[in-house]
Amino acid sequence: MEKRRRKTIAITSGKGGVGKSSIVTNMAYILGANKESTYIVDADLSLGNIDIFFGMSPKFNINDLIEGRKTINEIIVEGPYGIKIIPATSGIVELSSLTDEQRNILLSSLQELAEYDFLLVDTPAGISSNVIYFNSISENIFIVVTPDPASITDSYAVIKVLHNKTGRRDFNIIVNMVKDETEALSIYKKLLAVSDQFLNVYLDYIGYIPIDANVRHATKKQKLWVEHYPDTQATKALIKICNKLVS
């Protein structure tokens, strides 16, 4: 039997509102539809929202795991195409900064998961201790950036902090909410220029997702845009990104 690849990808961003969680959930749908065994960890532990994208109301969550009431397999909820979601809490401030003991419980639980192809970790935005931790335990780090100048500045800040705190040098860039690939590459090159000047890191351009009214329509309805608008431009762009992951 072929062994699963077990690729862990943290998807993070410098600021909120860049479409990170939307990308994670729709990426998982594409991977699952292509028979890739996929987990999502909602790592925004105190303000989780991954379950909302799938129209779910989980009975248990990561807090039940950390408090010892449930095992990781008991809190998992299953979405379309067998996507397995490890849901976060909403409104429990104490989980916004995990203790060493809580980190150990969570990490050992993740290591108990059955074989999988992809584990997508949807981190909080910013540079909190949880953001640093979840990126440090992931094999790959994807940074989502938009044309917003604050997003570009904050993305650089995240790269700098992750590099300094974890020693990581390889970062993958997804440019979201752009007119076209010309604009996406322009933003990537801006980020690349300042990183090359001040940091010893490597930024890999993974792809872009264009501004697409269908994304907004689907999100308002708490639906996945790749499912409900399979032929829209944003879906085609995300499929290209996912194809790079499995190649």
Would the pLDDT of 194 be above 80?
yes
pLDDT tens digit string along 23-32? 999 999 999 9
Domain boundaries, the chain: 11-246
Q: At what angle do helices 149-166 and 129-136 cross, to 10 degrees?
A: 60
Mean per-residue pLDDT of the chain: 94
Would the pLDDT of 2 be above 60?
no
Q: What architecture is the 11-246 domain classified under in CATH?
A: 3-Layer(aba) Sandwich (3.40)
The pLDDT of residue 1 is: 40
The pLDDT of residue 222 is: 87
The pLDDT of residue 5 is: 59
Question: For residue 40, what are the contacts with CB-CB under 8 A and spacing of at least 6?
Answer: 24, 25, 28, 50, 83, 84, 85, 86, 119, 120, 121, 122
pLDDT tens digit string along 108-150? 999 999 899 999 999 999 999 999 999 999 999 999 999 999 9
